[in-house]
Structure 1
Amino acid sequence: MYRSIKSETWQKLFVITFKTIKDQYGETEKPVFSEEVKKMEGKQITVPGYIFPTEDMFAGSKKILFSALPVNNCFFCGTGGPESVMTINLKKSLVYTERKISLRGTLELNDENPDELIYILNDAVKVD
């Protein structure tokens, strides 16, 4: 499924494994990032993808969900895994579009907070 994604950045982010740990939540799947992805943390990356429509998005929020896959195939609605979506913290809010766009920002990896997505892009801006 991910082979149709032509983004070199997403292809690197897709290489991930998970290990089961026991914590205060019971059993949790914790991401294990590849060495290549660990080297990307804290660096500027550009990712193409699709805005996931949420109520907050339409209220002008600067925090959105973003998917490598179109909404009908994304992690929340279809067949994509957790490595195919990320939280985007925008510098300024965006107007929603169903079209593919590209965003650039600083990558943060999350392997501690199970209530947050595993990839976070901070200070993100839309690029043409």
Structure 2
Amino acid sequence: MKKLSFIFLLFIGFAFSAKAQHDPSDQIVSANWDVIGEVEFKMAKDDSEMYAIFNNDIKKRAGKPFELEGYIVPIKDGMKQTKFMLSTLPINQCFYCGKNGVPIMVEVQLTEPTKFTYQTIKVRGTLKLSTANALDASPISLINGKVVK
């Protein structure tokens, strides 16, 4: 019986580790995500601060309507979300576990709450860039956002 239990747990472990692997077909790719992905970051010499370096391509879009499709990564608990991170990979792909790296993410602030979902959503809002310490606040945000159906 012990051996059977061990084998069962072993298979369950493999199933969970398989789900944690990155599935390339889940990755959201778009021209707007490419613009976001071009942002570079510079660490202070003592690693206490990090700043975004914005190129001209993203700077010219700042303060204007911008649309992204992605996956909700909640900042707070709850089924209804108004402020969250939007990612190019789904939350169940375990991008914090060290296997896949951290995907591109943008902070989203909606004018009306939306239900949490594991499916992608499309959001339209005003692109906001911040030169503050990126370790304290998101350097790229979509503010006054609305979910596009």
TM-score band w.r.t. shorter chain: 0.7 to 0.9
Greater share of residues in strand: 1
Cα displacement (A) at 1:111: 2.1
Q: Say whether the 8 Å CA contact 1:45–1:107 is kept in structure 2.
A: yes
Cα displacement (A) at 1:74: 6.9
Classify 1:5/1:95 alpha carbon distance in 2 versus 1 (closer, same or farther; 3 Å): closer
Cα displacement (A) at 1:40: 0.9
Instruction: Specify the alignment match of 2:72 in structure 1.
Output: 51
Residue 5 of structure 1 aligns to a residue whose secondary structure is coil
Residue 118 of structure 2 aligns to a residue whose secondary structure is coil
Greater share of residues in helix: 2
> Aligned Cα RMSD in Å?
2.5
Instruction: Specify the alignment match of 2:28 in structure 1.
Output: 5
Structure 2 counterparts to residues 65-104 of structure 1, below 5 A: 65-73=85-93, 76=96, 78-81=100-103, 84-104=104-124
Instruction: Specify the alignment match of 2:54 in structure 1.
Output: 33
For residues 74 and 122 of structure 1, the distance between their equivalents in structure 2, rounded to whole angstroms, comes to 26
**What TM-score do you get using the length of structure 1 for normalisation?**
0.80
For residues 106 and 74 of structure 1, the distance between their equivalents in structure 2, rounded to whole angstroms, comes to 29
Q: Which runs of 4+ in 1 moved over 2 A?
A: 20-23, 53-58, 72-78
Cα displacement (A) at 1:22: 5.3
Q: Unpaired segments of 5 or more residues in structure 2?
A: 1-21
Q: Unpaired segments of 5 or more residues in structure 1?
A: none
Instruction: Specify the alignment match of 2:139 in structure 1.
Output: 118
Cα displacement (A) at 1:57: 4.0
Sequence identity of aligned pairs in percent? 30
